[in-house]
Amino acid sequence: MTRFRSSFVFVFFLACAGNVAAQATPPQEAQPTPATAPTSVPQQSVPQQSDRNAVTLDAQKEARALRILFKTVEKSVVSAATAMPADKYGFVPADGEFKGVRSFGQQVKHLAATNHILAAAALNEDPPSDAGDEMGPENARTKAEILDYLTSSFAHLSKAIDAIATANPAVKSSPISPLPATVATRLSLIVETIIHSFDHYGQMVVYLRMNGVVTPASRP
């Protein structure tokens, strides 16, 4: 029994000593792993959303489409101007709120002058000197003279349409256009001219009907 106790005490002593030694030894710190140089990945050009969705216009196709609209408005306007009797070119509506409005002849001259001004801008030309402040030449007074000026303005616009597919896209900005110089293009200036012509064609139709004239475009 005494020998068993002695052995037990000795084993217990060794165990305690080992435990103390283990606590006295500082723990080993983890060695940092050497940093690995990042692998160089070549940067690829990622196309922007606008670039991926960009559509290249076919200049010849755009010109053909505009030519159809141009022919439509030219035929409508010229035929309406021709249909009004010469003695009615000075007609101004009297009934209703028409104070200060243009006469029929002045409507036609204004339309023609605007055609010339915007066609010149689309062709990178200076505006015609006789276009005035969108009023047209002062010496164009009779129906025949105004019709000549009108047809010449559509010929000018036709030239601008022909130039859509040319290599030189330069245009001039125009003070009568809402398009700023930074965004104006030959195509947009021509479209603006066609819109303006149709706007005044509608007014010409009203003047004609107030004088008992049905526009050729509306005749059976």
pTM of the model: 0.73
In contact, 156 and 74? CB cutoff 8 Å = no
C-alpha to C-alpha distance for 174 and 117, rounded to whole angstroms: 8
Identify the segments of the chain with pLDDT beneath 50: 1-27, 30, 41
Q: Which CATH superfamily is domain 57-86+100-215 in?
A: dinb family like domain (1.20.120.450)
Q: What is the pLDDT of residue 5?
A: 42
Compute CA 68 distance to the chain's CA centroid, rounded to the nearest angstrom. 21
Q: What is the pLDDT of residue 22?
A: 40
Q: Give all strands (DSSP E) within 39-106, no chain letters.
A: none
Compute CA 29 distance to the chain's CA centroid, rounded to the nearest angstrom. 68
The CA-based dihedral angle spanning residues 163, 164, 168, 171, taken in that order and rounded to the nearest 10 degrees: 90
> What count of residues does the chain have?
220
- DSSP for 25-41 reads SPPPPPPPPPPPPPPP-
Please report, rounded to a whole number, the percentage of residues in the chain having pLDDT higher than 70.
Answer: 75
Q: What is the pLDDT of residue 147?
A: 98
Q: What is the pLDDT of residue 19?
A: 43
Q: What is the pLDDT of residue 175?
A: 92
In contact, 113 and 136? CB cutoff 8 Å = yes
